[in-house]
Copies of this chain bind each other. A is one copy, B any other.
Amino acid sequence: MVVDQLDSDEVDRLFAALADPTRRDIVARVLTHETSVSVLAERYAMSFAAVQKHVAVLERAGLVSKRPHGRERLVRGDVDAIRAAARLLDQYEEIWRARIGRIEDILAAPAEGDSR
């Protein structure tokens, strides 16, 4: 199947990054508020290292990016990776619709020898 923009490894990383509730929550949060790793650690009652690890997984998947801010690193969400994943899922929907379309054509077509 055609995957526009993302290669297969990138898609693997993207879906694997989304397969965790804390990481999904972090993405939703940093899409609206650029947030430091230490504030995230507080928010999720996790060690700084544990959040850093989640953020690294999200960063490799292209779902967030970091920028230095004083002695901190601010994390922000990137909607493009989300969109790429959504487009990919839409392709499955299209594959499925194409099949349903064919089935409907078959059902709509007059059966051979259907003149009785």
A16, B19: Cα distance in complex, Å: 5
A97 CB to nearest chain B CB (Å): 9
- How many residues of A sit at the interface, in one of the four size bands? 20 to 34
B31 touches A99 (CB 8 A): yes
Interface on chain A toward B: helix, strand, loop, or mixed SS?
helix
| Selected interface stretch from A36-44, A47-55, A80-88 | A80-88
Chain B residues lying within 8 Å of A83, measured Cβ to Cβ, are: 89, 93
Contact of A95 among B12, B28, B86, B92 (CB under 8 A): B28
A25 at the interface (CB under 8 A from B): yes
Chain B residues lying within 8 Å of A113, measured Cβ to Cβ, are: none
A39, B24: Cα distance in complex, Å: 36
In this complex, the member of A8, A18, A32 whose beta carbon has the largest number of chain B beta carbons within 10 angstroms is A18
Chain B residues lying within 8 Å of A8, measured Cβ to Cβ, are: 21
Chain B residues lying within 8 Å of A92, measured Cβ to Cβ, are: 27-28, 31, 77, 79, 82
Q: Mark A52-80, 1 if CB is under 8 A from B, else 0.
A: 00000000000000000000000001010
A82 CB to nearest chain B CB (Å): 5
Chain B residues lying within 8 Å of A20, measured Cβ to Cβ, are: 12
